[in-house]
């Protein structure tokens, strides 16, 4: 995962007008799916190549035309294990362990396990015999205080760095791949907090406390940098870990990525698919930052965690490609939005873009930061299931933030699933106005993500599945009240079918037992029922 400064000239996705039904599924989607019906190439031709530039370092480009859904690569990890700052967890299967709950201790090294018979004990990507021996011989158990889980969890900082260092002995070829990954130690040394934390929690623990003198401080710091720059967050069903992969790290960053990926819940195999069409010689990209956030937040994260300044088209555009994810409403005119004058500068002033209709409004970067932080704290203080509270925030700040500001989008993403899910708001309990509200929120989310995370993406599949339900319930009610004729009913049924078809396809790429995979199965079942209903309506 190269972390150089990026400045890709991707083709902009043009906005297309919606059909009269306001459907968010286009004919292009089904054409893309048919083109990608064979998702795994087996003709022996290369799918991608690795190029090098002074600006980007090594990066991956397509060597053939790729369609949404095409598999670009699928590979096993080199190493997996706990994230920094994780909770106490089983060293074999990584399930969290509570201080008040039941757990076991490894008979060899005394480290925590979910049980003495954990299925992942002794497996390649769990707690291996070699690791157990090393942790026992270095007497690491002296620092495992089971009376204080807050102290106990600090030991987990060292597990993945140690596993990487062990490869020098146990798997030299994999270790050689690791040594070719970027570590940015020169930059990281200047970031006192990062370097000091690694020195205290990892370097000193491994070399001084555990007395592993065969490793130098430079060795351990280099591994820390490699992990920070190149590791993928992986895991399912309560397991949150990280992994290094031999090829996937070469994908470059873009704030509008053209791929998506998932990992297998059993062996952590990573599969990367094209989410959009990718042309020959076009960079194959993913986003190292949360795409839903604003430019300020994304670039701050990338600098602090990946050690580079992003210069992509979205970051350079004050409107963020028309999504206005960081914009405010102007308090001095009805039609203006307050945008950064220099979006690549965190110190930039922000000014109303309504040049002719506004008397003039400008705020400083500091004032913007204080405002967003204050609203963020207010949102964070809410229970994530507090539907009324979330709606109240949207109402309270409707004249402050742009309707698609990232803070509003995060709330709406939550609301799109709360409506129809929680007690008092189950789908059959929603009145017509609430059903329409759920529909409108889902369509707005999809419209924005068609720009910032386009194509065959997990979030699009989930939101389309959420969208089909209110459309179906509202259609049924209106037909029972004789507010729809047979032609209108057929049209609505086709609309629901199209939502379910796309949701089934996109979520069908997810691991079967993941929440998204389960939703994909539900979409398939609902699709069968809708098709049967469509046949009945056709015979009326």
The DSSP secondary-structure symbol of 41 reads -
77 three-class SS: coil
Q: Is residue 392 part of a domain?
A: yes
Q: Read off the tokens for 203.
A: 């370097």
Judge whether 387 and 422 are in contact, CB under 8 Å.
yes
Q: Is residue 104 part of a domain?
A: yes
Question: Do 59 and 110 have their domain in common?
Answer: no
CA angle 199, 130, 153 (to 5 degrees): 40
Q: What is the pLDDT of residues 249-307, one digit of tens each?
A: 999 999 999 999 999 988 999 999 999 999 999 999 999 999 999 999 999 999 999 99
pTM (2 d.p.): 0.89
Q: Is residue 515 part of a domain?
A: no
Mean pLDDT of 85-94: 95
Question: Do 54 and 142 have their domain in common?
Answer: no
Question: Do 120 and 231 have their domain in common?
Answer: yes
Q: Read off the tokens for 184.
A: 């940015």
pLDDT at 537: 74
Question: Do 87 and 227 have their domain in common?
Answer: yes
Helices 458-480 and 515-539, packing angle to 10 deg: 30
Residues 6+ positions from 496 with CB-CB distance below 8 Å: 468, 471, 472, 475, 530
Q: Is residue 68 part of a domain?
A: yes
Question: Do 195 and 234 have their domain in common?
Answer: yes
Judge whether 418 and 425 are in contact, CB under 8 Å.
yes
Q: Is 490 left (phi over 0), alpha (psi -120 to 50) or beta?
A: alpha
Residues 6+ positions from 423 with CB-CB distance below 8 Å: none
Total number of domains constituting the chain: 3
Could you say which of 406, 431, 455 is where a domain stops? 406
Which residue, among 175, 163, 168, 73, has the nearest Cα to 124 in the 3D structure? 163
Question: Do 228 and 94 have their domain in common?
Answer: yes
Q: Read off the tokens for 228.
A: 């920070």
Q: Is residue 479 part of a domain?
A: no
Q: Is residue 371 part of a domain?
A: yes
Question: Do 269 and 218 have their domain in common?
Answer: no
If DSSP states are collapsed to H, E and C, what string results for 226-271?
A: HHHHHCEEECCCCCCEEEECCCHHHCEECCCCCEEEEECCCCCCEE
Q: Is residue 269 part of a domain?
A: yes
Among 240-249, 371-380, 529-538, the least confident range: 529-538
**pLDDT band per the 50, 70, 90 thresholds, residue 238:** confident
**pLDDT band per the 50, 70, 90 thresholds, residue 11:** very low
Q: Read off the tokens for 95.
A: 């399930």
Question: Do 193 and 332 have their domain in common?
Answer: no
Domain that holds residue 397: 292-406
d(CA 309, CA 184): 13
Buried residues in 512-523 as b, exposed as e (16+ CB within 10 A): eebebbebbeeb
Give residue for tokens 């699709």.
527
Instruction: Examine the pLDDT at 218 and tell me if it is beyond 80.
Output: yes
The DSSP secondary-structure symbol of 43 reads S
Instruction: Examine the pLDDT at 142 and tell me if it is beyond 50.
Output: yes
Judge whether 21 and 494 are in contact, CB under 8 Å.
no
Instruction: Examine the pLDDT at 376 and tell me if it is beyond 90.
Output: yes
pLDDT at 377: 98
Question: Do 187 and 329 have their domain in common?
Answer: no
Instruction: Examine the pLDDT at 172 and tell me if it is beyond 80.
Output: yes
More confident residue, 9 or 200: 200
209 three-class SS: helix
Q: Is residue 440 part of a domain?
A: no
More confident residue, 67 or 265: 67
Could you say which of 406, 435, 461 is where a domain stops? 406
**pLDDT band per the 50, 70, 90 thresholds, residue 20:** very low
**pLDDT band per the 50, 70, 90 thresholds, residue 237:** confident
Q: What is the pLDDT of residues 147-165, one digit of tens each?
A: 999 999 999 999 999 999 9
Distances (CA, A) of 195 to 206, 225, 231, 318, 443: 15, 9, 18, 33, 44
Question: Do 55 and 84 have their domain in common?
Answer: no
d(CA 446, CA 440): 10
Instruction: Examine the pLDDT at 10 and tell me if it is beyond 50.
Output: no
Buried residues in 392-430 as b, exposed as e (16+ CB within 10 A): ebbeebeeebbebbbbbbbbbbbbbbbbbeeeebebeeb
pLDDT at 31: 57
pLDDT at 54: 84
Question: Do 105 and 84 have their domain in common?
Answer: yes
Mean pLDDT over the full length of the chain? 91
Instruction: Examine the pLDDT at 16 and tell me if it is beyond 70.
Output: no
Q: What is the pLDDT of residues 448-498, one digit of tens each?
A: 999 999 999 999 999 999 999 999 999 999 999 999 998 999 999 999 999
pLDDT at 38: 45
Question: Do 206 and 108 have their domain in common?
Answer: yes
Mean pLDDT of 105-116: 97
* DSSP notation for 420-475: BTSTT-BGGG--HHHHHHHHHHHHHHHHHHHHHS-SS-HHHHHHHHHHHHHHHHHH
Residues 6+ positions from 492 with CB-CB distance below 8 Å: 21, 471, 475, 484
pLDDT at 123: 95
CB atoms within 10 A of CB 205: 21
Judge whether 44 and 132 are in contact, CB under 8 Å.
no
pLDDT at 57: 87
Mean pLDDT of 138-143: 96
Judge whether 405 and 377 are in contact, CB under 8 Å.
no
Judge whether 124 and 81 are in contact, CB under 8 Å.
no
pLDDT at 39: 55
């Amino acid at each position: 995962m190269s972390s150089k400064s990026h400045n890709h000239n991707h083709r902009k996705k043009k906005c297309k007008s919606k059909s009269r039904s306001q459907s968010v599924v286009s004919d292009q989607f089904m054409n893309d799916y048919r083109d990608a019906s064979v998702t795994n190439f087996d003709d022996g031709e290369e799918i991608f190549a690795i190029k090098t530039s002074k600006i980007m370092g090594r990066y991956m480009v397509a060597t053939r035309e790729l369609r949404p859904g095409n598999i670009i690569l699928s590979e096993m990890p080199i190493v997996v294990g706990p994230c920094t700052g994780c909770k106490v967890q089983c060293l074999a299967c990584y399930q969290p362990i509570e201080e008040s709950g039941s757990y076991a201790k490894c008979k060899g090294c005394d480290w925590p396990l979910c049980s003495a018979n954990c299925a992942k004990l002794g497996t390649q990507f769990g707690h291996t015999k070699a690791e157990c021996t090393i942790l026992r011989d270095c007497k690491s158990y002296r620092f495992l205080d089971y009376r204080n889980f807050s102290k106990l969890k600090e030991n987990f900082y060292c597990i993945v760095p140690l596993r990487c260092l062990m490869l020098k002995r146990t798997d030299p070829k994999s270790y050689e791949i690791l040594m070719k990954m970027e570590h940015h130690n020169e930059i990281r040394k200047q970031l006192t907090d990062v370097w000091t934390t690694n020195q205290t929690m990892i370097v000193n623990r491994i070399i001084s406390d555990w007395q592993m003198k065969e490793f130098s401080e430079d060795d351990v710091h280099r591994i820390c940098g490699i992990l920070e720059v190149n590791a993928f967050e992986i895991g399912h069903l309560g397991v949150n870990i990280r992994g290094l992969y031999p090829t996937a790290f070469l994908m470059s960053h873009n704030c509008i990525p053209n791929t998506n990926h998932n990992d297998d819940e059993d062996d952590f195999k990573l599969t990367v698919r094209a989410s959009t069409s990718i042309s020959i010689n076009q960079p194959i990209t993913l986003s190292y930052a949360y795409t839903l956030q604003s430019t300020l937040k994304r670039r701050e994260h990338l600098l602090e965690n990946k050690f580079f300044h992003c210069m992509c088209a979205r970051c350079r555009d004050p409107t963020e490609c028309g999504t206005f994810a960081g914009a405010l409403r102007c308090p001095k005119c009805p039609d203006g939005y307050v945008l950064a004058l220099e979006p690549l500068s965190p110190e930039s002033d922000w000014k109303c873009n309504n040049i002719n209709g506004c008397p003039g409004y400008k705020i400083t970067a500091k004032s913007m930061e204080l405002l967003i932080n204050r609203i963020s704290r207010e949102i964070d203080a809410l229970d994530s299931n507090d539907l009324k509270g979330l709606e109240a925030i949207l109402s309270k700040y409707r004249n402050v933030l742009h309707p698609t500001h990232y803070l509003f989008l995060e709330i709406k993403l939550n609301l799109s699933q709360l409506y129809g899910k929680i007690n008092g708001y189950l789908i059959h309990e929603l009145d017509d106005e609430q059903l329409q509200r759920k529909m409108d929120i889902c369509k707005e989310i999809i419209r924005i993500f068609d720009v910032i995370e386009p194509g065959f993406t997990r979030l699009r599949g989930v939101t389309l599945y959420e969208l089909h339900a209110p459309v179906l319930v509202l259609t049924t009610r209106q037909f029972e009240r004789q507010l729809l004729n047979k032609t209108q009913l057929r049209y609505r049924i086709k609309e629901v079918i199209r939502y379910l078809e796309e949701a089934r396809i996109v979520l069908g790429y997810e691991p079967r037992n993941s929440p998204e995979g389960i939703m994909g199965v539900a979409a398939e079942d609902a699709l069968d029922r809708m098709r049967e209903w469509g046949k009945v309506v056709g015979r009326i």
